[in-house]
A and B are shown apart, each in its own frame.
Chain A
Amino acid sequence: MSVYRRNNVQVRGSGARTMVFGHGFGCDQHMWRYVAPAFEEEFRTVLFDQVGTGGSDIASYDSVKYADLSGYADDLVEICQELQLHEAIFVGHSVGAMIGVLASVKAPDLFQKLVLIGPSPRYIDDGDYAGGFSSDQIDELLEFLGNNHMGWAETIAPAIMGNADRPELGEELKDSFCRLDPVIARDFARVTFTSDNRTDLQKVAAPTLILQCSDDFVASEAVGAYVHQQIPTSTLVQLRATGHCPNLSAPAEVIEAIRAYV
């Protein structure tokens, strides 16, 4: 299984430099639909789906490998190595940002700069650290996903397996965004929302831009400030955008902020 197929890697644009986009929990590379095209003239852009989401190869999912974010970071490193990337720009959203952080620690030559949109090294409160959620609240999410897994179950599998006799499944997939395999989504949610990568932040050597929204329920401004404080080489930019997905709700502002930094 090539990493291209496994992670549904899409390379577009042209330019001497490369920009790699990593999506977070709950969606797929469509997340970058309003942002990535803006860089295609200057950069080669690389988009991919984390295994278990979008057009990734579901059969490649391995619950042991992906039992923590390190498995996802290994995938990212492999994608970059396959593309022979050095000194690329990494743009990651939400947990995708943390996966990029881990990849840059594993292979410091890959990324020249990191752009982290709504990053959080830990979602559950811990002493003085305010992650924003109690472990009960995270359990509530995981239980919700567990109880609802039939609601959006199996819709992706037949389409992925290429049912030639049911082309409407392919159509449905093409027109759908943020499709998740139910079982993997629950695992990914658990791995994401119970992760604690606070100690990895200090190991980041690359200059890092943190883009923080206000009123972000998933990754609060306090968490953004914590990430900024922990990564010595970081710059924190507060966006006017609100919510957790400025790459969707305020793409122009995000593009502008990235462009100014890289």
Chain B
Amino acid sequence: MSDAASQDSTQKEFEDLFENAPCGYLTMLPNGRILRANAQLAAWMGYSAEQITSRRLHDLLTVGTRLFYETNFAPQLSLGDTCEEMSLDLKTASGEIMAVSASARVRKTSDGQAAVIRIALFKSAERRRYERQLVDARAKILEQARATQGLLANERETAELREQFIAVLGHDLRNPLAAVSGGIRLLRRDMSAERRDKLYGLLESSIARMASLIDNVLDFARGRLGAGIPLDLKTDVMLGSLLDQVVAELRLNYLDRKIESQFDLPGPIRCDPTRMSQLVSNLLGNALTHGAETEAVRIHANVSDEILVIWIANGGEPIPAAAIERLFHPFFRGEVRSSQQGLGLGLHIASEIAKAHGGTLEVASTKEETRFTFRMPIAAEN
């Protein structure tokens, strides 16, 4: 091969190296006028090499990118000799956006003036996606951290309430225990059979109080530990008479209060009778404790559209909106006071019993009345 032919072949190879590089490649004047662009870039952009050559680099950019090019990329090229990994969005002839990463070299004349700028452009759609994912992941982590902070604050508050609860429980158990202990001491002495019987009665009621406290704590623990309150479902519960019984018991405890009941429950209902009594008893007890003494407590039960509805209403001061939110939380008590209000588990347990029955317990409180409503769908065959 002659020297000339060899030179020609080398020349062609370099041409090919430029034109068909795995990147877009161009040279331009400092004002952005494109002097030459390779075939690869032209192909990406959907222009012929001549079409690209008549343009300026910023004509190939989206408007948003061009603003950035003018204010950041171009100044960097004016100030330095190189520029690496600049993200740019190109707009192709067909209007599509092509994400590229650009690196540039400034070639200067002997007097230090910028003569031409060479820019290599690499497709970076994948990298953009990856960057986007990183940004999103970071945003997500920040959001999760905030949520965790919220949960932690909540848990701290619960822990504090739990400690108060334990203190109240200890206090409430100590009183009946002291009564039992004192009663046994008395029983050692001589006394009339009549007095002894009365003492047994007092001891039994103290023990019943302790048993009920312990039951509440166990119910609470079951509910909290995830299993929920266990039910012993019976298919043939005559709820009307069951409710009458609960109301009668509470009337005995609150002799000076009026309880108006209205039940319209013709057929048997599938439920756990003991738990249902507990639910209604807790709600009635709550209404009698917190409602205005001058007003009657009303309890109403009926079935409508295959939904059992039991509501209990009392008059008196409405429950503050802030308190409503926490009403069914464990340990909730209007304010922490010793023993008068019990352990603050009554409403929580009532709502857990409602949940276990596939029902809901809701409260609405206005100046006129405070009303707790239990709703439970009952299956058609019942």
Contact = CB atoms under 8 A, between A and B. Distances in A.
A217 B63 CA distance: 10
B75 A141 contact: no
Interface string A203-246: 00000000000000110000000000000000000000011110
Nearest to A177: B79
A59 interface: no
A177 B86 CA distance: 13
Contacts of A140: 62-65
Nearest to B62: A140
10 contacts: A26-B71, A139-B64, A141-B65, A141-B68, A143-B64, A144-B64, A176-B80, A217-B70, A248-B75, A249-B30
A27 B75 contact: yes
Nearest to B138: A150
Interface in B99-134: 101, 128, 131-132, 134
A193 B79 CA distance: 24
B34 to A, nearest CB: 15
Contacts of B76: 27, 176-178
A221 to B, nearest CB: 15
Interface of A: 24-27, 30-31, 33, 94, 133, 137-152, 175-178, 180, 189, 193, 217-218, 242-245, 248-249
A244 B72 contact: no
Contacts of A147: 128, 131-132
B79 A151 contact: no
Contacts of B132: 147
A238 B86 CA distance: 32
Task: Point out which of A26, A176, A189 has the most chain B C-beta atoms below 10 A from its C-beta.
Answer: A26
Nearest to A216: B70
Nearest to A150: B131
A130 B3 CA distance: 62
Contacts of B71: 24-27, 94, 218, 244
Interface residues of B, number: 29
A24 B67 CA distance: 13
Contacts of B78: 245, 248-249
A244 B79 contact: no
A193 B70 CA distance: 14
Contact of A144 (B31, B79, B89): B89
A178 B128 contact: no
A27 to B, nearest CB: 5
Contact of B68 (A133, A145, A150): A145
Nearest to B79: A177
Contact of A141 (B30, B63, B80, B86): B63
8 tightest Cβ-Cβ pairs between the two chains A and B: A26-B71, A140-B64, A141-B64, A150-B131, A26-B72, A248-B78, A151-B87, A177-B79
Nearest to B82: A175
Contacts of A24: 71
| A148, A177, A217: residue with the most chain B Cβ atoms closer than 10 Å | A148
A142 B63 CA distance: 11
A193 B75 CA distance: 18
Given A141-B68, A143-B64, A176-B80, A150 B134 contact: yes
B68 A151 contact: no
B135 interface: yes
A98 to B, nearest CB: 14
A139 B63 CA distance: 10
A94 B67 CA distance: 12
Contacts of B89: 144
Contacts of A193: 67
Nearest to B67: A141
Contacts of A133: 63, 67
A144 B62 contact: yes
A149 B276 CA distance: 60
Given A147-B131, A151-B87, A177 B101 contact: no
A242 B74 CA distance: 13
A245 B67 CA distance: 12
